[in-house]
Amino acid sequence: MPLIEALLAAVSGGIVGIVLGLVGGGGSILAVPLLVYLVGVTNPHVAIGTSALSVAASAASALVGHARAGTVKWRCALMFAAAGSFGAFGGSTLGQAIDGQRLLFLFAIVMIVVGLTMLRGRGDPGNPDVVCTRTNAPKVVGFGLGSGAFSGFFGIGGGFLIVPGLVAATGMPMLNAIGSSLVAVTAFGLTTAASYAISGLIDWPLAAVFIGGGIVGSLVGGGISRRLAARTSALKTVFAVLIFLVAAYMLWQSGRAFWEVA
């Protein structure tokens, strides 16, 4: 691997790790475009497979800090992750059959919709005492299955879907949703990565460098997130703005690629 590519991969991994630790999602949103447009991975499917593995590792690292801080709702997180893993496997199988540029374009559209949803609910502090029981289990499982399917289809950890999904299904505060989401992000990422690995669509040396940067970044992001715990609206605004910026860039790149072909 050329030195400049390794450096870009490490920096990109660090950025992804910071975002994962800070808002629980968005790391995978950044990972794919960073690998394609900054590091220079030419095959979108290889970028997706590599990012899925890298994001799973970074999410697991960020989860350790949140678990120590007591922000993870383990029962809700495990229910969500278990249901989502089934959806992620099916979604990843379907995603590999779709043209790479079209996949990136659809990815950006979904991001914009989720960003708008998060902005609408940014004033709600949530219920810190929420518990997942038989009453809300169907809703948690349903959101988990849907988030997993989208996660696998787009080759992402799915945090940008999991965080709002957990909030919508349980009403938990944003900080708890961030911590809990990392359980599912790890599970979804590993499930998706396994599917792509079977097809030979992971660049293993690149993933190793990316993961190294991601682990360092996740520790930094997790610390910032806990400092912003009392500012729920600030966390949600950061989350949404990040999504809009990356979605706009991806739409621009996809549109440019379309016109070059035309």
Average pLDDT, the chain: 80
The end-to-end CA distance of the chain, in Å, is: 34
192 CB contacts (<8 Å, ≥6 apart)? 48, 49, 52, 88, 89, 91, 92, 151, 152, 155, 156
| Interacting residues of 124 by C-beta distance below 8 A, sequence separation 6+ | 232
State the residue for tokens 């938990």. 172
pLDDT at residue number 18: 84
Cβ neighbours of residue 253 closer than 8 Å, sequence gap 6 or more? 33, 37, 104
CB distance 209 to 1 below 8 Å? yes
Dihedral angle sign, alpha carbons of residues 36, 48, 62, 228: positive
* Residue 120 confidence class, pLDDT cut points 50, 70, 90: confident
For 172-212, write each residue's pLDDT tens digit: 887 888 889 888 888 877 887 888 899 899 999 999 999 99
The pLDDT, as a whole number, for residue 230 is 58
